[in-house]
Structure 1
């Protein structure tokens, strides 16, 4: 019985070695067949990883430099910093233009939607320009729409157009934060 067991053991060992060699040969054939594709994918993965890392470091450096340039422009009014900001980060450049225009009460060429609308609103109020304020307040998604309507009503009250002011104030919804101001102005207009 022991010889029979030994023979079975040797057969099993040969079968497992045979299976191992068979899988090794299959793997070798697969590798030879797709060697170029495997190396290509490996190179693409390495190059992609390195370029992603380098790009993120460059973006981080540009953001840091842009913040320094913005601070320099705001503190010293340095025009060179403004030019550097324009190259490094366009959005921060437009924020700087907005802040500069706001401080000097002038208009600026800004493409950021909300900053442009806010600047137009502020310039219209400072110039007491009813037409520009009307244009700004008619934009459906303007952040300060109700406040713009309230300011229009104030301008109308100053020019003694009380009925038009009342009509404008009625456009301010009750859930608006400007509603309380509108109510106070309506109470003032009761005597006019």
Structure 2
């Protein structure tokens, strides 16, 4: 019996080695057959990682330069070079700065420039709203703050006891707007305390 068991053990070892060699041969065949694809995939991964790194570095440098320009401009408002750098490196921050300055000075032309800007939709919408409030012309509405304009108009109508007209303004506020509940409350109480 010892001899049979030894033969079985040897057969199992040979079988295991055959399977290992067979797996190696299959792996080698697969690699030879697909080595161009494998190398291409590796090259794309390396190039993608390199491109991502370079892009991140460029964005960081741009951000750093715009922040430095903004800090310089805040210290010295007459530094036009810093303002140009800010305009080139970070147009959104530049528009925000123009908006802030236009509000401080009441500059309608600068507000119009910011309102027409495509750089930042929120700042543009805020500028449009501010223009409509300055002019008393509430027909100029931004996409984001239109509910606020309708709420403001409706409240002004409630103050004048024009309840039906105020309800029409409140009805124009989007159903999903957080201002809708305020409009419902004003409509219910008709602006009275």
CA contact (8 A) 2:66 2:85 kept: yes
1:83 aligns with 2:93: no
Query: Partners of 2:103 and 2:51 in 1: how far apart?
Result: 40
Aligned equivalent of 1:60? 60
* Structure 1 residues 109-120: aligned runs within 5 Å: 109-110=113-114, 111=117, 112-120=120-128
Aligned equivalent of 1:47? 47
1:33 aligns with 2:20: no
Query: Partners of 2:182 and 2:141 in 1: how far apart?
Result: 17
CA contact (8 A) 2:86 2:93 kept: yes
Query: Partners of 2:152 and 2:74 in 1: how far apart?
Result: 28
Normalised by the length of structure 1, the TM-score is 0.69
Aligned equivalent of 1:149? 153
For structure 1, the 5+ residue unaligned runs are 154-161, 188-192
Q: 136-145 or 91-100: which moved more?
A: 136-145
Residues 43-94 of structure 1: CA distance to partner in whole angstroms, max 9, x if unpaired?
1111111221221232123223222322333342232222111221221121
- Cα-Cα RMSD: 3.5
Query: Partners of 2:50 and 2:144 in 1: how far apart?
Result: 46
Q: Structure 1 segments of 4 or more deviating over 6 A?
A: none
Q: 2:138 aligns with which of 134, 141, 147?
A: 134
Aligned equivalent of 1:3? 3
For structure 2, the 5+ residue unaligned runs are 171-180
Task: Give the 3-state SS of the residue equivalent to 2:30 in structure 1.
Answer: helix
Q: 1:175 aligns with which of 182, 185, 190?
A: 182
Q: Report the Cα offset of residue 10 of structure 1.
A: 1.5
Q: Report the Cα offset of residue 38 of structure 1.
A: 0.3
CA contact (8 A) 1:66 1:88 kept: yes
Q: Number of residues paired by the alignment?
A: 170
Aligned equivalent of 1:22? 22
